Amino acid sequence: MAESHPPLRSYGRLKTRAIKPRQAALMETLLPSLRPPAEPFDPRALTPAGAEAWLEIGFGGGEHMAAQAARRPDVLILGAEPFQNGVASALRHIDEAGLANVRVHDGDARDLMARLPDACLARIFVLFPDPWPKTRHNKRRIVQAETVAEFARLLKPGGALRFASDWADYVDWSLLRLTADPAFRWTAERADDWRTPPADHITTRYEEKRLGDCAPVFLDFVRT
């Protein structure tokens, strides 16, 4: 029997600096109550008002996730982030805002997605993921044909997928793979549709740093 191998990591370091004492305490006290079930589950069963569920893949410091959750208390937002400092930061935002509609998976998003049923999500966000800019590392990018197929499986018909990046090559890479899947329709009709942040977008401190090689590009897709 062929030996199975785990998927390549789509993220870099798990920790870069010491976590501040308050955030470290939240990792011990708050995080356990926010983790989604370890077994297969339907996120719609966890929504406060039974409305819908969203997923943010790689939420960074949690600013966008927390702000979206505050705007829509009727929506359950699942967030996945393996970077420990980012998880600690997100917990602070969640705690300060008193948010009850967020669940945090402190690990690989693909592990979380595998536990979710078909057509259970209304929105997926993949915002400024690790670009893996070196050609030999491109295979580590989170957007691959197989993950696009998983996005399609998880989104209900009419559901929305948003990808954003400030690396031109990653934008081209993702656009090619998303438009190649017939399950997705790109909504852009003019250049401003991808050059201008969408009306409901929340700009984060990471985005403002402009660490990439181009202005931020926003690609919005609909699940057909």
Domain containing residue 118: CATH number: 3.40.50.150
Strands (E), 128-166: 155-165
Whether residue 15 is contained in a domain is answered as no
| Residue 130 annotated as catalytic | yes
Whether residue 1 is contained in a domain is answered as no
Residue 86 to residue 143: CA distance in whole angstroms: 20
Whether residue 199 is contained in a domain is answered as yes
- In this structure, the number of other CB atoms found within 10 A of the CB of residue 143 comes to 21
Whether residue 150 is contained in a domain is answered as yes
| List 118, 130, 172, 193, catalytic entry | 130
Whether residue 16 is contained in a domain is answered as no
- Domain with 163, as residue range(s), is 39-223
Whether residue 152 is contained in a domain is answered as yes
Q: What is the pLDDT of residue 8?
A: 56
Q: What is the pLDDT of residue 2?
A: 42
Statement: residue 3 has pLDDT above 50: no
* Mean pLDDT across 37-65: 91
Whether residue 142 is contained in a domain is answered as yes
Q: What is the pLDDT of residue 47?
A: 78
Whether residue 169 is contained in a domain is answered as yes
Q: What is the pLDDT of residues 70-90, one digit of tens each?
A: 999 999 999 999 999 999 999
CA distances from 148 to 131, 141, 163, 181, 216 (A): 16, 12, 11, 8, 21
Statement: residue 5 has pLDDT above 50: no
Domain count, the chain: 1
State pTM to two decimals. 0.91
Mean pLDDT (the chain) is 92
Q: What is the pLDDT of residues 122-133, one digit of tens each?
A: 999 999 999 989
